[in-house]
A and B are shown apart, each in its own frame.
Chain A
């Protein structure tokens, strides 16, 4: 099993997009099956992500959860006034998680989390009508977080730890709507950087007023991913001093925020078998004002791409039912507010408000090991939107159309306890 997970981790890419902005909420199959609600739930090492204060509340000494989700998402675009249409490649991407906790004594547990909460992979058909905004984008960020969880008293525990992030970015677009080289190939720029690192932190509390009721709060700090001296590759640029770029590789700088996020939730065990939870998440997207790419020392003008994201909330509800000693079934729903404001609908993150329908189950193979399955269908309604801030010779040229997206996310994981 370990070997399999390891090879999957090596072989598969870790990122995808399916939620507002480039947040990818698939950080635990048990929680995902309940609408990705977990801040007030303690049922496995998944709590290392959702609320590390809960780790000390786990019954077993050693807890491990690991899993991977296949993300199948696609967006279609069309413009009825020009008859143009396009859709993104349905690339499969695979966010994963690995959580472990160890109870040192009755009031202290230590843990480690590795997870991929942010990412994006959108690949439009090359030279599609919006290719001056984006042909292809891939963002990946792996969070590595050592944790402690401390039981303050019978009612209150706290937890948290520093976060180390390592990320990469690939972004490709055509330089303008119409610039071509001498053979008619669209002039293009791609930027690429990896090994972008930074630090952040997370902290949480869990309040347990009665045995049945849990109230949880979790906070994860903003982390700015600063790409410095990455490679920007210009291609298909005509050979002319009249064009402010030449074919070849130059350095670029850019910054992309991974915004802060907090969650607040409540769970209640109505019986030995039945538990339900509600949760609200708030992502502080307003830090993402603009995606600015500069090419220092080259004379190439900066690429300024206003984003003007707004803070957004996600409302989650989920429940689980322990059907037998071996089977536990789960279901949930969430409503995902898009951080993208009207007129800023850039096709690199073409998402409007979405409805997430989730379900799943766990099957206990034995006392120690359980298999976890989750499935998410994310539904977006059709939306007429535009990105109005692309400039051409000082004139705003809106990119308009009707967008429709959907995503299917089947996931598999294991829970191990000792």
Chain B
């Protein structure tokens, strides 16, 4: 009997090795070709979008769903290798510098005691200290959250000493090869065979998300003088981008580049309407009485004096109606500043009143209110008494509102950047992804295998809870579009992913 047991054991071995084999095997790559591209060492270069940043943080799960990592997994069917990312230490997100927290944890969708959902920081203390360098060995994802175009070529961008003064990037500090290393230099040191480059978003985004408090630096060719919320000069962008794509394209078998989407399509600017205020009859009567003299006498008077145009007088009219849908009041720095005039005769207003009215107007349909204003509008001004309501009696500051004028500045730069990106993509004959068009499609509703993806905040599925960065599902759509572009450019047949296999926002009360 023992003998038979032995035979059975032997048979087990034999049968275990006889897995059913397909005529054409996905695993063996029978369906796919790399075309003219060599995917063996894929390196991605860019900013937060390349890093897999989401929910206002970088965390492991988000990184695993970065669009280049999604692509790299698909590249494995056509000879792609491992894709190593500078993974964070946890799924909380947030950063420490020598034990002191310098970046918040990720946002999750919590539900409060009243049953209302809303974004909140997940509780916990970050464990990723940027002084713990993870440099060394293979690295494939050079997405650095916060990087602008010129940062990728800036020596010292990974020097920890520069972090407290804003001269260096804490995310790059973690995996920079040396204090004076550049992002692009470290990326090229990996000998990429194929690349992705998506950069330029932050060259306008800081200005946009700050409500345009920064400076439009057109004409200033020295980016070292720029503030974090400034718009990068078009020529500076062009020069840097040209160097980047030249370096990447001439040392690889090919790559893919992405343009810059319109910020007015992202939920950071589309979620809070300019007219969110419900007001009752009593309040409206008081408010309108307050502004009656201003609307009917002060403004027309200033027009007669030639201080204001008829157009500006119309723009500065303040009117409220009982019920929902009242536009907030804002400070618009592009208006004529009346602070001094109103303090003089015949108005003789107090400096405080004059200050309030100086660049005051009511918002209109063309203004974009930033997402963080959601909890600020309608709140009482600290120490200001019950009638001091932010967005009503106290106007929203510049940082809460992106006016039409500011939007135009952003768009002018963006369109120029995109022209440069597309021209250089053509010149270097690399694949090009029109992310601008893709996110417009998402804004209108993009059908996927898991229903329609939209850019509605929290519910739409495409955008994470910071309203700027994408969800894993959103990144998967970017990855698919890039795969399409690559397949078309290089004659490859890399398979796409199912967006429905990737999550949207994360609910949690942790």
A residues near B, CB below 8 A? 1, 4, 70, 72, 74-76, 78-85, 87, 90, 92, 129, 177-180, 182-184, 238-243, 380, 382, 392-393, 395, 397, 402, 404-406, 408, 410, 412
Contacts and interface: CB of A to CB of B under 8 A. Distances in A.
A410 B504 CA distance: 48
Given A90-B15, A179-B503, 19 more contacts: A72-B18, A78-B27, A81-B495, A83-B31, A83-B32, A87-B19, A178-B504, A180-B61, A180-B503, A182-B122, A183-B61, A239-B510, A240-B508, A241-B509, A242-B109, A242-B507, A243-B507, A408-B18, A412-B8
B509 A240 contact: yes
Nearest to A243: B507
Contacts of B507: 238, 240, 242-243
B184 interface: no
Contacts of A179: 503
B18 A406 contact: yes
B91 A182 contact: yes
Contact of A382 (B11, B12, B22, B509): B22
A408 B61 contact: no
Q: How large is the interface on B (under 10, 10 to 19, 20 to 34, 35 or more residues)?
A: 35 or more
A70 to B, nearest CB: 6
A85 B509 CA distance: 35
B23 interface: yes
B428 interface: no
B20 A408 contact: no
Contact of B26 (A84, A238, A241): A84
B418 to A, nearest CB: 31
Interface of B: 1, 4, 8, 11-12, 15-16, 18-27, 31-32, 60-61, 64, 74, 76-77, 91, 108-111, 115, 117, 122, 449-451, 472-473, 494-498, 500-504, 506-510
Given A129-B501, A184-B64, A395-B450, A80 B8 contact: no
A83 B495 contact: yes
- Residue in B15, B22, B503 with the greatest tally of chain A CB atoms within 10 Å: B15
Contact of A404 (B1, B11, B12, B21): B21
List of 8 A-B pairs having minimum Cβ-Cβ separation, nearest first: A184-B61, A83-B495, A72-B15, A240-B507, A178-B503, A78-B26, A404-B20, A408-B15
B166 to A, nearest CB: 31
Contacts of A85: 25-27
Nearest to B1: A4
A183 B12 CA distance: 39
B4 A177 contact: no
A39 to B, nearest CB: 29
B60 to A, nearest CB: 7
Contacts of A242: 109, 111, 117, 507
B506 A78 contact: no
B22 A392 contact: no
29 contacts: A70-B8, A76-B21, A76-B22, A80-B26, A80-B495, A82-B495, A83-B26, A83-B32, A83-B74, A83-B76, A85-B26, A90-B15, A177-B450, A178-B501, A183-B91, A184-B64, A239-B508, A240-B110, A240-B507, A242-B117, A382-B23, A392-B450, A392-B451, A392-B500, A395-B451, A397-B450, A404-B20, A405-B20, A406-B20
A410 B19 contact: no
A90 B20 CA distance: 11
Contacts of A80: 24, 26, 31, 495
A1 B506 contact: no
Given A242-B111, A412-B4, A79 B26 contact: yes
Central interface residue in A80, A83, A179, A402, by most chain B CB within 10 Å? A83
